[in-house]
Amino acid sequence: MNREKLIFVICLAGLLVYKAVRFTVYKNPKKISIATWNTQTFFDADFSGNEYSEYSSSKSGWSEEKYYVRLLRLADALEKIDADIIALEEIENLNVVYDIVNVLPYTSSLRYAVFARQPGSSLGLVLFSRYPITGAKTHQIQLPQVLPATLRPVLEVHVKVAEKDVVVLVNHWKSKASGGETGKIIRQCQNRLLAECVSQLKKEAAGNSLIIAAGDFNQTTAEFEIDRESRKILFCTNNSTEEAESVWFKTADVDEGSYYFRDKWEQIDHIFLFSEKYRFGFCGTVNGRMFVRYDGTPNAYKLYSGNGLSDHLPLKAEIHLR
């Protein structure tokens, strides 16, 4: 029997909705769990010409066999993350989302998904949920002399948990690996865009929605503006300042980071909570055996051997609904 799911497909040109035949109802949960994970350049087996150079042809060693092995490994990882909502970064296209859906166990509760990608970009964003998705859209910055294909949107997803509207803003900010000073300016613009999204959501919902931002921000906790007294992260627009609790302030004694670079842990993956009526519960990285190497560092995917999973650890948080 084929697994039945609801898939929302988003591109900047429009929104396509596929009707679900059935779904599981969760009544009045006292808490929900959310995770974010950069899956490390998850390309499919088709060579469209939009891939990174190491995945652009069979000469590089990338193959259909390696793709499906990696796909099964990803599905297993999603089950082990075991979150109500999971945001994924660096997924190539919608075909990969369909393939993930098809290889997930029939018993998996992740029955809804959204995909978004900037036209011309190599990689996009996905959000899986075990709760019904009621709407989604993207937000994007515009900068002169910056190719649109190099920019990544903010994916706004509305999830219905009992009678509550949970809004997840999925981010993948500009990397420091390329761009230099321009990259820093782009991240500053993405920071402001996120603040504007949160400010607008609060106005529309009159403070009743649970608003969460998650993803790979390519920026450490210390690089954000922090209120020293409240220990909250500050996101500023021209007219307002939005305060957020950081998952890393709840895990300081447990985790040093989710990404390991040049012999140093970094906190560049984040989960931010913008709603004062809710609070973080258990937080931390998912570091089971398949996610880490023998020395505890992320089990990065190696194209030449086909071994590994991702160079990031999943970051997970429980959020209690007051």
Question: DSSP assignment of 9-30, as one string?
Answer: EEETTEEEE---S------S-S
pLDDT score recorded for residue 65: 95
pLDDT score recorded for residue 61: 87
Give the pLDDT band (50/70/90) at residue 95: very high
pLDDT score recorded for residue 76: 97
141 in any annotated domain: yes
Judged by phi (left if over 0) then psi (alpha if -120 to 50, else beta), residue 218 lies in: left
Domain count, the chain: 1
CA atoms within 13 A on the CB side of 24: 13
pLDDT score recorded for residue 251: 83
pTM above 0.85, yes or no: yes
Surface-to-core class of residue 205, CB atoms within 10 Å of its CB (0-12 exposed, 13-18 middle, 19+ buried): middle
Note down the domain range covering 292: 6-321
pLDDT tens-place string over residues 240-287 = 999 999 999 998 667 899 999 999 999 999 999 999 899 999 999 999
Q: Angle at CA 186, nearest 5°, toward 121 and 224?
A: 125
229 in any annotated domain: yes
SS3 state of residue 154: strand
129 in any annotated domain: yes
pLDDT at 321 over 80: no
pLDDT score recorded for residue 8: 41
Give the torsion sign (CA, 133, 76, 247, 235): negative
1 in any annotated domain: no
pLDDT mean across residues, the chain: 89
124 in any annotated domain: yes
Residues 272 and 246: beta-carbon distance below 8 Å: yes
Look-up of token digits 């990608």 = 117
290 in any annotated domain: yes
Average pLDDT of the segment spanning 108-136: 95
pLDDT at 46 over 70: yes
Rounded Cα gap, residues 30 and 32, in angstroms:
7
- How far is the CA of 252 from the CAs of 118, 218, 221, 278, in angstroms? 34, 19, 11, 20
Residues 207 and 218: beta-carbon distance below 8 Å: no
Rounded Cα gap, residues 173 and 179, in angstroms:
12
Question: Could you count the other beta carbons within 10 Å of the beta carbon of residue 208?
Answer: 11
pLDDT score recorded for residue 254: 76
CATH number at residue 303: 3.60.10.10
pLDDT score recorded for residue 315: 98
